[in-house]
Amino acid sequence: MRRTKLTFLLPLLITGLGLKSFGQSTASITITNDSKDTISRHIYGQFAEHLGRGIYGGFWVDPSLPVKKQDRIRLDVVAALKKIKIPTLRWPGGCFADEYHWRDGIGDRSQRPKMINTNWGGVVEDNSFGTHEFLELCKLLECEPYVSGNVGSGTVQEMSNWVEYLNFDGQSPLTALRTKNGHPKPFNVRFWGVGNESWGCGGSMTAEHYSDEYRRYATFAKDYNNARLKKIACGPSDQDYNWTETCMKNIGNRMWGLSLHYYTIPTGNWGNKGAATGFGEKEYFNTMKNTLFMEELVTKHSAIMDKYDPNKKVALVVDEWGIWTNVEPGTNPGFLFQQNSLRDALIAGTNLNIFNNHCDRVKMAALAQCINVLQALIITDKEKMLLTPTYYVFDMYKVHQNAQYLPIKLNTPDYEFEGKKLPAVNVSASKDAAGKIHITLVNLDAKKDIQVNTELKGMNWKNVTGQILTSANVADINTFEKPNTLIIKGFNGAHNNEGKLALKVPAKSIVALELY
């Protein structure tokens, strides 16, 4: 998480999505069956930082709250996230990670020291949710933990000890301490972030300094039996291509992955990001333009990585992405709570399509964030729980996890507003282990339905079923009073037209199709 100024322009040609914009009323798609790439399930990862009500009041609730719990872990939240098959959960931050000292969050909770969360609201952190609680949450979610280590204010020994505490299956003072704390067997945590946003809140480092620090920290983060680490280096913010160049040159294959952080800011202005609700088409159009910049970022950072890693062994890990707006009026500005609209769902679908289409390099991602913070999947208020439009996108797209990527060529009409244009349609496709074909389409045009004609080369299918997520207005939201304004509904608008797929994608909608 960071606060930086960002300026950019959306290019007219979006090459990585395989699309060009033309003055036409229909979109045409060609899908081929000649790829051996897999869409990693880890692209569908989530992020939970000690920020606002993300952990406390989200996952970890007061013992007196009248909801089903295991210890203090809220089980209706767990059930909702299990349904969409989240593969990984990143923790404890974010900026919080580089002021977090893991020993403060183990042992008797009544004896754990309190601290001030200086990044997010200046509130007291009581450390009641720590390492063991996080790993119990991941066990309940049936997902893999992704731990961000403290490079900014920590030490090499501190991170090395944390790895040993979690992963060593032998006798040592740290494994004895783990046993004393109730877990004799190792946790075998594979995914480790070596610092977070080290160019900003994680230490204000230069790329050269960070890459040297990475090598030092990574040397002492040891592999143990059954837990060969997948070390993820702090990568660039937005279009800092020099940072990527430096890390690839100086770190190379010493890392499993290199992170990338990019937030969709509706106005492009960090000082006044724009409202989460009540916006009009102008704000909507600008937001969609800004979110499509992810395509250029992934393409250009990947090209730099290709220079040093032509066999694509190092993953691009987009472990913070999503829309960031002004907070809801009357809420703590340090808690980053914002409502979640159809606009956010369209952002989610678009970005996931981008990641799917770059699955040769993008192997992992994490939406910011999971509960009650930024582009949340879930919003809670005491005993109440609400699923957001973004949640339903992840439910629709889960079929892509670990499926075979199907390459796409797309020609799309433009979405035009006040003399400006952007590509109206984006899409990704995959084939699962059972041979079923899944296609996810997003129509960003706020007003126009778009006819889509699709040819599938080298694939046999007869039947098609579909789902759709849309609403009357791009600013529509789900509320506790009206939780079903935006939910997944059946879509019957696709059919087999002599071996070709034909459908009309309604304005401002996400459509998921299954062909078999």
Residue that is written with structure tokens 């923790």 in the block: 91
User: Minimal CA–CA distance to 131: which of 165, 82, 172, 160?
Assistant: 165
Angle at 242 between CA 236 and CA 246, to 5 degrees: 90
Q: What is the pLDDT along the chain (516 residues), one digit of tens a residue?
A: 544 433 334 433 333 343 444 444 899 999 999 889 999 999 999 999 999 999 999 999 999 999 999 999 999 999 999 999 999 999 999 999 999 999 999 999 999 999 999 999 999 999 999 999 999 999 999 999 999 999 999 999 999 999 999 999 999 999 999 999 999 999 999 999 999 999 999 999 999 999 999 999 999 999 998 899 999 999 999 999 999 999 999 999 999 999 999 999 999 999 999 999 999 999 999 999 999 999 999 999 999 999 999 999 999 999 999 999 999 999 999 999 999 999 999 999 999 999 999 999 999 999 999 999 999 999 999 999 999 999 999 999 999 999 999 999 999 999 999 999 999 999 999 999 999 999 999 999 999 999 999 999 999 999 999 999 999 999 999 999 999 999 999 999 999 998 899 999 999 999 999 999
* Contact in structure between 171 and 215 (CB atoms under 8 Å): no
User: Minimal CA–CA distance to 179: which of 165, 163, 192, 193?
Assistant: 165
The helix/strand count (H/E) of the chain reads as: 10, 28
Which residues belong to the active site?
Answer: 197, 320
d(C-alpha 417, C-alpha 466), whole Å: 29
Domains belonging to the chain, first-starting first, are: 40-402 (3.20.20.80)
d(C-alpha 300, C-alpha 492), whole Å: 38
Tokens of 105: 């969050």
Q: Is 63 left (phi over 0), alpha (psi -120 to 50) or beta?
A: alpha
User: Minimal CA–CA distance to 94: which of 148, 162, 158?
Assistant: 148
Task: Give the ranges where 327-385 is alpha helix by DSSP (H).
Answer: 342-357
User: Minimal CA–CA distance to 316: which of 389, 369, 366?
Assistant: 366
Residue that is written with structure tokens 């119990």 in the block: 136
First vs last Cα of the chain: how many Å apart?
42
d(C-alpha 319, C-alpha 235), whole Å: 10
Classified as helix, coil or strand, 461 is coil
Q: What one-letter code names the amino acid at 443?
A: N
Residue that is written with structure tokens 């990001």 in the block: 273
Tokens of 3: 């606060």
d(C-alpha 516, C-alpha 510), whole Å: 20
Peptide bond into 54 cis (omega under 30): no
